[in-house]
Amino acid sequence: MRLDLTPDQLAALTEAPAVEGDVAARSRPLAGIAALADAGPADLSFLGNPRYAAEVPASRAGAILVPADHPGSPAAGQVFLRVANPTHALALVCSTLEARLWPRPPAGIHPSAVVEPSARVDPSAHVGPGCTLLAGASVGPRAVLEAQCHLGAGASVGEDSWLKPRVTVADYCAVGARCRLQSGAVVGADGFGYEPVGGRIERLPQVGVVVLEDDVEIGANATLDRARFSRTVVGRGTKVDNLVQVAHNVRIGRHCLITAQVGIAGSTVLGDGCVLGGQSGVAGHLRLGDGVRLGAQAGLFEDVPAGGFMNGTPAMPFGLERRVAVLARRLPDLFKKVDSLAAALDSLRKDAP
């Protein structure tokens, strides 16, 4: 899709405090967005990572979002938009494109949707084709439910939230305001609760709920299990990636980042601002303090105080884990030396009187 915005329009959109470069180019519409090395004169690009600063002088982009303190100057026919944070500025531009690509659907309930008489849908909300809303479900102002979403009995979706196709919010679970749930996400599946009884494995009913606070985002095919009792909670502003499993009674703090294929076992508590790397796993009933970070594929089996950075399986402090990894690579040579020393010692013993 074409960008069709001039550098001057982009400056207003991104609130760029300074615009530098060719005056004529400032009013020339740009067609698209491209990386520094790939951009042409009709493209917008950006310097979001200082490691790519060397690519700016050679870039043919018509306009570049650069940090306010970037030392270079634009080439002939080029415009620099100096901003505090180029990555955030580009996000503002992409938000405009996103609204064009996926405009908010019109308010109303599609004729094919099944809505129980006691369910409540705000007149400004959109309920798409094939959706089901059971008794007592509620949809807030300007919320969007795309095709085949399911709200269970007593479930709620807050204002301005957007559910992509085939999202399930199970009975009595709550989605806050301005949340985004990608296709296939399940909020409120039964927790994995069983107990051996008399040689059998008996199911433990899961009668709690899941609560997503405001501004939470959930990735495609992520699953958040209802609590055995009480609540499974995802704190305000937290972002959960695709294929994540959050077990029953887990409590995730505010503004956390939970990346792809993470698994969090039951009753674990995460503080605010935690970051869990891809495919990391957290055992049950643990406590992670504010700002804890886990490296990719880390396996955590112990509590971590605030600010901790853990890596490896079993997870250990990052610096220690890196040293252990270096030493592990030296083990073959170490064993050879030990074998050589053992052989020399055996020879000495044989030669001894």
Token pair, residue 332, equals 């073959």
- Among 70, 248, 255, 285, which one carries the catalytic annotation? 248
Q: Alpha-carbon distance 204 to 229, whole Å?
A: 11
Q: In the annotation, is 248 catalytic? A: yes
Cα 168 to chain centroid distance, Å, stands at 19
Residues with a known catalytic role = 248
